[in-house]
Amino acid sequence: MANIGGAEEGGDQMISGINVTPLVDVTLVLLIIFMVTASYIVKEAIEVDLPHAANAGEAVGRTFALVLTKQGDLYLDGARCNEQELLARVRDAAARDHQARAAISADRAVLHGAVVRVIDILKEAGISRFAINVEKSE
């Protein structure tokens, strides 16, 4: 009789150990893949350098999130838009919800006039409640 699998002739031995090395290898590869892709998911946010204030205010209910970047781009709820699109979208929503609010996040390098222009568009659309988003000073 041939010696198969390292068993002694005349005796059957059961394999009692499990080799976990391939499992650890696969787990580490998956961990690396998740770590690399997680950094791309986080970078989808629009980055602005907010000014600091001693009192950052309180949280409000449902709001329109407006972002003005230092390059002059305008975003409404994460989607890039121009002033006409902003007016149309906010006017439609404000007609349905009379308690609608807006939170404006403007990079500190944005000119004051650009922020005032966005506030004028909001008022024209029927939004009278808005907040300026700032970072709280330490």
Q: pLDDT 10s digit of each residue in the chain, 138 long?
A: 455 555 555 567 777 778 888 889 999 999 988 888 776 665 555 677 777 777 666 544 467 889 999 898 999 988 899 999 999 988 888 888 878 888 899 998 999 899 999 999 999 988 888 888 888 777
Per-residue pLDDT tens for 79-115?
A: 899 999 999 988 888 888 878 888 899 998 999 899 9
Contact 80, 111 (CB under 8 A): no
What is the rounded distance in angstroms from the CA atom of residue 72 to the CA atom of residue 82? 10
Domains of the chain with bracketed CATH: 64-136 (3.30.420.270)
Contact 103, 66 (CB under 8 A): yes
**Predicted TM-score of the model (pTM):** 0.57
59 CB burial (10 A radius; 0-12, 13-18, 19+):
exposed
